[in-house]
Amino acid sequence: MAFKLPKLPYAYDALAPRMSEDTLRTHHGKHHKTYVETLNKLIEGTPFEKMDIESIVKKTAGSNEHKKIFNNAAQAWNHTIFWRSMAPNGARKPREELAPLVEESFGGLDKFKEKFAADAAAQFGSGWAWLIENSGKLEIVTTSNAATPMAEGKRVLSTCDVWEHAYYLDHKNKRPDFLKAFLGQLIDWDFALARLRRLETSEIRLEQA
């Protein structure tokens, strides 16, 4: 059973000019594709071949023996939820039960943006910034390289890729500019709400063939 590269939930030019078509084609069509293809080669003929993507990530997390499998499986999952964390016409503010949670956890949307941008900008080197739900509260966490809170059983609501290839073509080395665009014009709070509600449509799966 080989995993398929998930299709983007929008056209390659749909997020321009905040995220250009060139960036999306390179990031999704090359980087993400390579993670999926490499994962398929690594798990061929192993027990992992019959597992879903989340199970592979959780089973290989922290394992030196299966480090390559973890890195590629986690990056395949991380990128899939990253694409869905954005939308060309998504909700730019939290609503319903997510809105009071943002207020309670961070002191409001503006303070959430300030903290998320600061933490994501401070992430040294390659990595990710995450909005997670943990025991009924919201938290912002950052991870290096392929690491993901999902591997620890945390509920990810939204994420931003802060590897340089996510923004360099559009913003050069100015990560804060990319984060401003992500938080102001790319993030889809309705997807985060669907994740909070654990709706089936918000679950992250990679098809297998």
Of 164, 173, 90, nearest to 128 by C-alpha is 164
Report whether 107 contacts 84 (CB < 8 A).
Answer: no
> In sequence order, what are the beta bridge partners of 138?
133
Q: Which CA distances in Å does 143 have to 75, 97, 107?
A: 12, 27, 23
Specify the DSSP class assigned to residue 93. S
Cα 139 versus chain centre, distance: 15
| Nearest residue to 127 via CA among 162, 159, 157, 160 | 162
Complete domains list, the chain, with CATH: 19-209 (3.55.40.20)
CA atoms within 13 A on the CB side of 154: 22
- pLDDT (tens place) for every residue of the chain, 209 residues total: 799 999 999 999 999 999 999 999 999 999 999 999 999 999 999 999 999 999 999 999 999 999 999 999 999 999 999 999 999 999 999 999 999 999 999 999 999 999 999 999 999 999 999 999 999 999 999 999 999 999 999 999 999 999 999 999 999 999 999 999 999 999 999 999 999 999 999 999 999 98
CA distance 5 to 208: 9
Long-range contact pairs involving 93-99 (C-beta distance under 8 Å, separation at least 24)? 93/189, 94/189, 94/192, 94/193, 95/189, 95/190, 95/193, 96/193, 97/193, 97/196, 97/197, 98/189, 98/192, 98/193, 98/196
Residue 147 is predicted with a pLDDT of 98
pLDDT of 1 reads 79
Q: What is the pLDDT of residue 209?
A: 84
Q: Is 72 helix (H, G, I), strand (E, B) or coil?
A: helix
User: How far is CA 200 from each of CA 56, 146, 205, rounded to the nearest angstrom?
Assistant: 20, 25, 10
Q: What is the Cα–Cα distance from 133 to 76, expressed in whole angstroms?
A: 21
